[in-house]
Structure formats: structure tokens, C-alpha cells
Amino acid sequence: MTATNNANDVLLHILTNLPKQSENQENLNDRGTFPQQLNDIGEYLDNKLGDIASASLKSTTEYEENRIGPPTANLNLFGATGIVQCTRFDYTGIGSFNTVRADVCVFRGKWQYEVLLETRGVMQFGWCTVKCHFSQEIGVGDTWTSFSYDGGRVRKWNVQNSKYGDPWLAGDIISCLIDCDEGSISFKRNGVDLGVAFENIPYGKGVAYFPAISLSQNERVKINFGATPFRHPTVNYLPIDEKPQLLIEQADFLLNIFEQVVCFGKYSKSNRLNKSTTFLKLSQNRILSDSKNDAILMIITQQIIERLCPLLTTSYIVQQCLIPMFLRINHETIHGEHVEISTCLDYFWAFLQSSDLLTLLTQLLLSLNVLYFFEPVQLTFEQQRQYLFLLYSILQHEDTRKLSLESIFFIKVKLPLFIDIKPPDSDILKQIIPDGWSRKKFYLNDLERDLSCLSACRKLKDDLKALETIQIEILKLLLTPSDVIQHPPSSKFLFITKFRSFLKENLADSPLHNYQPGIIRNFFHRLLNVLEFYWNQYHEIKSFDEGQESSLSFDAAYVPSQKFIDNNLDYFNLQRLGGVQSHLEKEYSADIKRARSVGTSSFLSRAFSDQSSRHDADLVNGRDRYRDHLGLSLKSSNATGSESLTELLDGLILLYHVGVHKHYIKVAEVIDSLREYNESLVDIDNKIINCRDDGHEIRNELLRSKKIFEQQTEDLTRKIAWITMHVFSQEKRRDIVTLHRSVYRTLQIASEAGNLFSFIPEIYLNDIYLNTFTALNVYYPTEDSGLSRDIAIDFAQFIANHMQDTRIVNSDVRDNMTQSLSAFCFYAGSLRALEGMRESNRTILIRALLTPYANRPWAMTNLILVRFWRGCGFGFRYSQAYPSKFIQSLRKDRIQDSSPSIKYQQEIGRYLLNNIDDAIAFLNSLLGQLNWAFSEFMGLLKDLVPTKVRYMPTIEHRQMKICSTCFDVTVSLLRTIEMSICVAPTVMLDKHSTKSEMLLIRLLQLLAQIINRLATKNYSLEDMERLKMYGKQSK
């Protein structure tokens, strides 16, 4: 069989299976016009493209007659107000309030543009005339001839404002529509019509409208004037930019042929990869050899790509034509080879110039990024899954993966957006969670237990798990360590390098791309799962090679102390625990030299010079290499290293600081809001019960308010259900436990290493370690397990040992540690964990707490001492609580438990008796601070309480807070003195000690002064009842 017959068979098979694009192209598949040999394929394609151009509809006259401006709309940077960061499609507000309009206006017809929200804050989108003059206080909708919609505040604006539309969320798409013939403006959210916002707007002669938007600080959007296909087009409304219909039809024609080539050729590639004996048979039942097929297909593909390349440089064609073609041939699975997508990319690498290839891949990944992130969430996440499956298939191609990591991800395409999962709208959540579900429950462990009883919630959780699994597999591909042998460096090396740059940017005060905390949290959890996979895999192989029975599991991971003195690992000028790094390097040069002599070099500091140069040459000459080795896949052994995994762990620790804890604080506010709404509902119910029979208007108003609060409560309850399943689940808690223990081991081992502890970045201790412990105890469901107790004891011991560590030079860090410890011992269970520390640690803690209150912050340490005593002192020995309205109004989970710590009282007593001089110095400082606090309290009280001369003075909130604080401090100091005297009375009652006698005299004088000021007629506190002092608590 000749090569000519082979070529004719292949061409006939490909060209006879093309779909008909339109009624005007019925003759495109006419066999009489098919090329008879391979040399004619180029001419055939050119003729067909010419036929499409001739048959294509002419451009509509609306763009010539009803629109003023360049063919492609852009934002007018010269007329922008405020400080803006702006490109053609992206807009970020830098100043307090920023406004920009397009350089195109419309004056007749119906028009539309879309705004894609990356954040959800205060923004105003709409239309304005040329007469509008904006400033940092006046934006779109704040002038008489501008009109806007603000979903952050759910208002429409035209100088005056009124309620309109729905609240928007990050990831929403807002459509802005104007009808210049009828004089109306309307908006859509995710394709749902919000109704006509403005009617009878000025229109006609001399009036034209520009698209315009206003954003507050740090708000970000993407603007689509028609440069890419509208996600939610409206019938009879035109985009500001004309749709490139001719280019679409030509691209569809070429991609249809390309798709047939790929599908025809996949069998040959599958046969080589799988060594299958199955061959492709044509209609004539002739069998074609693989090598001849490949040559024929490559010749055809070269002609197709040559004509397709100019079309694929625009994002419109990529989204409208290329991605749908990829979705058709892609397999939605993470198992096996994705032959079709791999073959497509092989052809692109073989026949495109380096610059064209980079442009194409950038447009492809950027379009996928936008399509995934801005796809409206449905119950099954079906659309999101198909985009992620396609991304997975693309990244399975080694050279595409490496080029993406080197030049696209983290630079032009925001990789974390692929790892995010948007929350569903309220309408979607209503289908899952019924009305009245668990409205009175505020504890996440109770909510999670109730959710597990709902079948729809179980299904949603399974769908979430499936989506997260795809995201994890994508990150596994990006961290592939075994693709270094033939074409170094590895994907893992490239990812860690870019990830480090990503951290550097986001740890800055004003990052260029300020990601939402929720996106960072999702990225953190998926990346931690991938790190655990590769960590365990590496150490299992290592232990097997070394003949060890057990390996170092990820549960025991930590960052070695040598990392913090390795100058090759950039910590972005972060403050260290011991101060400035340059000073520490001079002061501890001997320790550094000794540590480096036994340490290992950084993964990022490895040479790679010769390998990198070869890699760069491969990227430039990729098409030549693919012509010789098209279709061959690289198979190599695992070459992962522990150095790189440790540095990735360090990056994850820093990533937690970037946004994870910020997101916990943000979503926890939803629970507080629900609690406040329920308290308001209880209050309304009481008012309705007590309402007089003739108060019909009052009762109706209360019922109306109750209905509004109930609706808000239902919405918040559903949001909390989502938060419970997606944010505060037990799987996510496990991740935080793993990270917390890794940080603890890192700090503990560094502390044992001596002066190297000073080199640890402050945020390791001051932010990450303290915040992860707070997250485990406050935000996540509590677990009465041995693991939780071990974490609590380790935390207490570490903080106790380092409260006065001289290696920590920043007093704010030590203050935060003390504050965390005081919050930790708030509850009885935590206090028992504090008692479970080793005796040596308890002694260190007591010594730190009983240091004299001079020249150091002492308020938090005094609260800890009061907590040890609370329940044993005066006023706590009654069998029933005092019926205080204030105490009854407090939330029960915020009322401090009165159970004391007998163990610490006894040990404090022994310490005071065994160290008389220190005890006397401590008590003297207590009395000095008590004298100051009580004097300040009485001085402030004198200015606040009304007298005969001054009936009601003007009281500022700040004055009341200061007065209340001084009162609290006074009572706390008195409690500490009370405990000290009770547990070690001989410190003051020793008859043979002059210091004890002087201390006793001073105590009696101070107590007499307090009683005198409070009990005598001239200084009575009776008038305090008339003063409503916010925040003052009963003691």
C-alpha cells in the first residue's frame, strides 16, 4: 500500500466526519473539493476559510451608528479618580474611593457589559454621561446623570439611594444593561434579572452613556465589555465590543478538523503507550501502520496550526472555541492517561513558536481560571468539576506543566483561585437545609452532628470531597518530583520557587494581589494534604532503603533550626525573636558556624546551573524536540528530597499567617450575628407578651420586626451549616492540629538548641503558634480526647517556660504569650491541663507570675493569679449566686467558672514561704499598684458622678471605659493580695522580721484608706446606681 493511498484514506476519514457549522456552509464537506494529496491541504484550508468569510454575515450597523469610540473598549485611565491599579480587564481600588469609566459611549439601542467580582465590598457599577465629574468622595450614582447598583449595601444610587437587588458575593457576575431607546437601566446578578432600577433617564439628542464603576479600597473586579463571551447574555442587548463572528466560524472550522486529527491519532499513541494489539481500520478495511499515520497527521496538523495560531491569540476565541473543544475530548477522571489532551499539546509544542505557545497557554489557563471561579455554584458542582478535570489533563503534559509553573502560575494566572470553592447562594442552601433547622444551636459540634442526619447535607459533603480530591491531584501534579531526570528542573522545584515568591508578595504590607482569606484557607488545606502525601511517601522509601522498620511520619514533621540561619532561604526581612538578623549573625557567629558545620544545604540553593540552562534551551527549541520524540512519555523513579519538603512545610506555616486565621475570625462573626438575632427575637417575644391589648400599632410593628429577624436568622443558619461542613469540619481540624504540632516541635527543638532560637521569625510564635492554638480551642468543635489534652499541656508548658525568656527581645511577643495563657486558663478544663504540667514547669510559671510588678506589664499575669484563687476568696463561699441582673444577662459560655486551683495555691504558698525576700518584694509591688489603681478610680469617679452643683455631667464613652478598667484592676489586685495572705500568712505575720512588720503596716494603711473612701458619707458610692457605666462588672 502506497503512502499516497494512506494519505487519501486519512484525509477522507477526517474530512468526512466534520460537523456542519451553519446553513451557509453546506458545501464545506463536499467530497469533490477534498484535497487529493498532502501538498494540497494548505490550499484546501485557505479556500474553505475564504468561503466562510464570504458566507459570514456582515457586521451590524449598530456599532457604527449607535456607538462612539474605538472598536475595542478600554478603561480610561487618564480620567480615573483616586489611586487605581488598572489593566484592560482588571481594576483594583487603591485609594479610599476610586472611579473609572470606559472610553466608549452609547446613545441609541440596547447595550450590556459584565462585571466579575473578585471581592464583595462596597462597589457601584452602572452608567454615566460625559458631564459627570467624580472625586474620591463622589462616584458613579452620586451625580444627577450617573446611575449605579451597589450590592454590598443592596442599594441603587442616583444622588439619592433606595433598596434594590440582592446582596452580592465574591465570584458573582453583575450584568449592567441600558436601553437608550426607552430610557431605562437594569441589572442582573448571575443571570437573574433584578428588575428595572431606573426609568425615564435622560436620553436622545446630546446624551450618551459611558460604562463606569466605583470601588472602595482593596476591592477588585474584572470587566468584560465583550472581549470574551458573556456568561449571561441578554436577548436583544449587544456587548460594547462587537462579537468577532467571522473569527469564531473560522476557528470552529479549523478546530473541528483538528479534533478529528486528534481523535484519529489517539489510537496510535494509545497503542504505543499500552502496547496494545488493536489497530485502527478504515472503511476499506486496510490497516495503517503507526509510523505512517504519525507522519501524515503531523503534516495535516502543521497546516491547521499555522492558520489557527493567529486566531488563538485572543481570549474570545479561546473561551468560545478552544475550551469547548477540549471539554468534548477530555475524560473526567484523574486516573489513566489523557491521550487526547496530551496529543493536542504535543502538536502545539511541535508547531508553535515559543512566544506564540506561551501566549496560547496563558490565554487558555487564564480563561479556565475565570470560567471556574465565576461559575455559579450548583448543588453538584458539575461545572466546576469539568473545568478542574480539564486543568488536570493539561497539567499532566510535562512541558506544559513546567512552562506554566515557570511563566504563568502566580504571575499571570492566580493558581489559588483554582483551589477555591465558593459558598452556594441562599437559594441553593434552601434546597439542602429546611426552615427552622437548629436555629437555637450555636456550638459547631452540635451543628455538625445535626447536619450528618440530613441526607442532602451528606450528599453535599460527598460532592465537596470529590471536588477537593481533584484539586489535591492537581497540586500533586504541580509538585511532581520525578520529572527531573530528562528535562530538569523538576516541577516541584519550580513550584516551591514560585510559591516562595507568592509568600513574599503576600506577607508585604500592601500586596499586589491581595487574595481573600477564604481563598488562602482553601489553598492551605489542599497543599497541606499534598505535602503529607509526598512526605510520607519519601520517608517510607527512605526507611525501606535504610532497612528501618518505621519511618518519620508527617505527624512528626518540623522545620530544623538550621533553616533559620540559612541565608539561601529567604524570610523576606521578617523580624526575628532575637531582633534584627544582621545583629544576631554578629552576636552568635560561633553558634552559626557550629550549626552550619553539621547542617545541610538548602534545596533552593542547589546549583542547577547546567541543568537550568539545558531546560531553557528545551523551552526555546521545544518544537524541534517534539518533532523527533512526539508522543514519547517520560517514566522515571521517585527523586524527591526531604530538604524541599521541609521548605514547603515552612511555606505552609507562613501561609497560615497570610490569611487562614483571618478567615476564621471572619466566618466566626456569622455565629455571633446569629446569636444576636436570636437574642433580639427573645426580646421581641417578651415585648409582644407584655404589649397592652389596645396597642395594636405597637404589636403590628413588633410582629413585622419579628418576621424580618426570623428571615435573617434562617439565612444565617444556612450559612453556618455551610461553614460547619466546609470550614470547621473534623477533617479541617485535623489539618490545623498537624500544623500546630509542627510549629510546636519547631519552636521546642529550636529552644533546646540554645541561641539559634533567637533566629526564628517572630510570626512563628507571636502569630502562628498562638493563633493555631486559639483556632483549635475557639473555632473548631472541641474533642475530649487525649490528643487535645496533650496539645493543651504542651502549649501551657512552652508558654510558661518562655514568658521571661531573654532570647525574645520584643516585649509585645511576651505580652501576647501571657495574654494567651490567661485566656487559656479561663475554663476549668484548661486549668486542669495547666495543673498537669511537669513540676519543674509549674515552678518556672510560678516564678514568672510572682515577679514584682515593677518595670514590666503585669495586668495579664495578675489575672492568671486571680484565676487560681477564684472560688476560694471572700464572696465565693456562698451556696447560691447573688441574683444580679447583669450576671443573668451574660451568655453562660462567657461567665467565668469559679472552680479554683488548689494545687497552684499550695505551690504559690510554698514558693512565697521559701523565698521571703522575693515574696516581700512582690507584695510591696502589689500594694504600690493597688494604691495607684484605686486612686485613679476614685479620681475618675468623682468627675462622673452627679453632685448637687452639677446634676449630670457630660460623660464620654472613653471616660467610662477607663473608670471601669481601673475598678476591675483594683478588685483583681485585692484578690491577689487576699490569696497571697491566705496561702502564706507568715510572710506578713512574722514577728521577728522587720520587713514583714513594715509590709503589714502598709497593708493596713491602704485597706483603711479604701474603707474610708468608700464607707464615709463624703465619699459614699451610693450615687453610683444612678450612673449607667457601660462595661463595669459586679465583683
Q: What tens digit of pLDDT does each residue of 651-682 get?
A: 999 999 999 999 999 988 888 888 888 888 88
Work out the pLDDT band at 638, boundaries 50, 70, 90.
Answer: very low
Q: Is 155 helix (H, G, I), strand (E, B) or coil?
A: strand
Q: Is the pLDDT of residue 1016 over 80?
A: no
Q: What tens digit of pLDDT does each residue of 410-454 get?
A: 988 999 999 999 988 888 888 877 766 655 555 666 666 667 667
Please list, in sequence order, all residues whose beta carbon lies within 8 angstroms of the beta carbon of residue 932, skipping any fewer than 6 positions away: none
Q: Is the pLDDT of residue 622 over 90?
A: no
**Residue appearing with cell numbers 493543651:** 792
Q: Mean pLDDT in the chain? A: 83
Instruction: Say which range, 100-109, 550-559, 607-616, 915-924, has the weakest mean pLDDT.
Output: 607-616
Q: What tens digit of pLDDT does each residue of 814-863 get?
A: 999 999 998 888 877 788 888 888 899 899 999 999 999 877 888 888 99
pLDDT at 910: 94
| Helices and strands counted in the chain (H then E) | 38, 16
pLDDT at 264: 81
Task: Calculate mean pLDDT across residues 69-93.
Answer: 82
* 267-271, 370-374, 673-677 — most confident range: 370-374
Q: Quick one: DSSP state of residue 508?
A: S
Maximum separation of any 2 CA atoms in the chain, in Å: 124
Q: Please state, for a pLDDT cut of 70, what percent of the chain lies above it.
A: 82
Please list, in sequence order, all residues whose beta carbon lies within 8 angstroms of the beta carbon of residue 633, skipping any fewer than 6 positions away: 273, 337, 398
The answer to whether the pTM exceeds 0.75 is yes
User: Cα 516 from chain centroid?
Assistant: 5
CA dihedral 955, 961, 963, 968 (to 10 degrees): 150
Q: Is 82 helix (H, G, I), strand (E, B) or coil?
A: coil
Which burial class, exposed, middle or buried, applies to 743 when counting CB atoms under 10 A from its CB (0-12, 13-18, 19+)? buried
Pairing state of beta strands 110-117 and 238-239? parallel
Instruction: Say which range, 330-339, 634-643, 759-768, 1014-1023, has the weakest mean pLDDT.
Output: 634-643
Of 783 and 699, more confident: 699
Q: What tens digit of pLDDT does each residue of 277-334 get?
A: 443 343 333 434 456 777 888 889 999 999 999 999 899 999 999 999 999 999 888 8
pLDDT at 75: 86
* DSSP run (H or E) holding 590: helix 589-598
How far lies 449's CA from each of 434, 446, 581, 736, 846, in Å? 16, 5, 49, 20, 41
Which burial class, exposed, middle or buried, applies to 624 when counting CB atoms under 10 A from its CB (0-12, 13-18, 19+)? exposed
* DSSP run (H or E) holding 90: strand 90-93
CB atoms within 10 A of CB 599: 15
pLDDT at 445: 62
Q: Is the pLDDT of residue 362 over 60?
A: yes
Q: What tens digit of pLDDT does each residue of 98-139 get?
A: 999 999 999 999 999 999 999 888 999 999 999 999 998 999
Distance CA 987, CA 972 (A): 20
Q: Is the pLDDT of residue 354 over 50?
A: yes
C-alpha neighbours within 13 Å on the C-beta side of residue 821:
31
Considering only CA atoms, which of 868, 875, 923 is closest in space to residue 899?
868
Distance CA 397, CA 506 (A): 29
**Residue appearing with cell numbers 495607684:** 932
* DSSP run (H or E) holding 161: strand 160-163
Please list, in sequence order, all residues whose beta carbon lies within 8 angstroms of the beta carbon of residue 790, skipping any fewer than 6 positions away: none
DSSP string of 334-401, one letter each residue = SSS--HHHHHHHHHHHHHS-HHHHHHHHHHHHHHHHHHHHTSPP-TT-HHHHHHHHHHHHHHTSHHHH
C-alpha neighbours within 13 Å on the C-beta side of residue 400:
26
Q: Is the pLDDT of residue 637 over 70?
A: no
Q: Would you say 10 and 260 are in contact if contact means Cβ atoms under 8 Å apart?
A: no
**Domains of the chain by start residue, with CATH:** 63-239 (2.60.120.920), 784-849 (no CATH), 858-1035 (no CATH)
Work out the pLDDT band at 1021, boundaries 50, 70, 90.
Answer: low
Distance CA 370, CA 1031 (A): 49
Of 375 and 5, more confident: 375
Please list, in sequence order, all residues whose beta carbon lies within 8 angstroms of the beta carbon of residue 770, skipping any fewer than 6 positions away: 816, 817, 820
Work out the pLDDT band at 1026, boundaries 50, 70, 90.
Answer: low
Q: What tens digit of pLDDT does each residue of 164-223 get?
A: 999 998 899 999 999 999 999 999 999 999 999 999 999 999 999 999 999 998 899 999
Q: Is the pLDDT of residue 495 over 80?
A: yes
Distance CA 392, CA 330 (A): 10
Of 317 and 617, more confident: 317
